[in-house]
């Protein structure tokens, strides 16, 4: 069971989740993806799980709450009057899925401490209750080191294990900061660089997506990504 969190919103969590799911499913594993709370999407609109299905294929998906406003789950719940989402419900759903699947992925909303309810429950509480490993999805460029270090420090202080960090959207023409961060992100996270996924990957068809996911993710996920080789190539281009 893996908890996929980000250093913020829009860093590539859904694409990363879909990429991990695609590789696992391609190896014949039974995969489930749980999105506890989807915000900023109407009742009949496609959410993040629709993207996962489009990219990763027929994996099991489950969404527990949907709020129309693009806010934190707690704030969106308060504004809409819809029920909040206690971590116990998330953990129960994850455990249920995990009992019938080989791999269960839990994709958070925003960062690790984004609130689910008025008591301040967050994805960190869910990960702790499940004993799940945490994957941190980070941006490539300037500012990512601080956000990654903060996320990893909070995770560690809460008794969580950060398995690694993945860059969710690597630019076609990376700047100096992005290239430098390839070496510094694992230090900030206190965990290895487990992948670098190219920007625009969400526009790929299923076959191309699977191939690029394999190239961009570590053998830990069933991929072929070699951080030393990637850093060397990126550095040579600057």
pLDDT at 44: 85
Phi and psi at residue 42, to the nearest 5°: -75, 170
pLDDT at 151: 97
Residue 49's nearest CA partner among 77, 73, 82, 15 is: 15
- Which of 35, 157, 212, 238 is an active site residue? 35
Number of domains in the chain: 1
Residues spanned by the domain of 153: 2-236
Q: pLDDT tens, 36-85? A: 999 999 888 999 999 999 999 999 999 999 999 999 999 999 999 999 99
Question: Percent of the chain scored above 90 by pLDDT?
Answer: 91
Is 35 one of the catalytic residues? yes
Domain at 53, CATH number: 3.40.50.300
Q: How confident is the model at residue 238 (pLDDT cuts 50, 70, 90)?
A: low
Q: How confident is the model at residue 110 (pLDDT cuts 50, 70, 90)?
A: confident
Per-residue pLDDT averaged across 148-176, rounded? 97
Sheet with 162-170, strands from edge to edge, namely 60-67, 31-39, 103-111, 2-6, 133-138, 162-170, 193-198
pLDDT at 15: 97
Question: Percent of the chain scored above 70 by pLDDT?
Answer: 100
For the full predicted model, state whether its pTM sits above 0.85.
Answer: yes
What mean pLDDT, rounded, does the chain reach?
95
- pLDDT of residue 12 exceeding 80, the answer is yes
Q: How distant is the alpha carbon of residue 40 from its chain centre?
A: 18
- pLDDT of residue 192 exceeding 90, the answer is yes
- pLDDT of residue 196 exceeding 80, the answer is yes
- Establish how many alpha carbons lie within 13 A of residue 82's alpha carbon, considering only the half-sphere containing its beta carbon: 19
pLDDT at 160: 97
pLDDT at 43: 87
Per-residue pLDDT averaged across 11-22, rounded? 97
Per-residue pLDDT averaged across 161-185, rounded? 96
pLDDT at 234: 87
């Amino acid at each position: 069971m893996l908890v996929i969190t980000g250093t913020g919103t829009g860093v590539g969590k859904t694409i990363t989740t879909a990429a991990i799911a695609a590789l696992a499913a391609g190896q014949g594993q039974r995969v489930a993806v749980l999105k506890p709370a989807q915000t900023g999407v109407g009742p009949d609109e496609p959410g993040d799980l629709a993207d996962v299905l489009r990219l990763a294929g027929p994996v099991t998906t489950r969404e527990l709450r949907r709020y129309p406003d693009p806010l934190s789950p707690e704030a969106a719940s308060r504004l809409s009057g819809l029920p909040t989402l206690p971590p116990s419900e998330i953990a129960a759903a994850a455990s249920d899925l995990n009992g019938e699947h080989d791999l269960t992925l839990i994709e958070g909303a925003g960062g690790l401490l984004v609130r689910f309810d008025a008591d301040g429950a967050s994805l960190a509480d869910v990960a702790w209750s499940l004993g799940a490993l945490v994957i941190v999805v980070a941006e490539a460029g300037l500012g990512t080191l601080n956000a990654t270090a903060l996320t990893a420090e909070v995770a560690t202080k809460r008794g969580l294990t950060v398995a690694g960090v993945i860059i969710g959207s690597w630019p076609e023409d990376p700047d100096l900061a992005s290239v430098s961060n390839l070496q510094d992100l694992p230090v900030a996270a206190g965990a290895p660089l487990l992948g670098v996924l190219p920007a625009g990957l969400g526009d790929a068809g299923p076959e191309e997506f699977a191939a690029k996911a394999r190239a961009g993710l570590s053998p830990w996920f069933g991929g072929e990504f070699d951080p030393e080789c990637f850093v060397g190539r990126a550095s040579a281009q600057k």
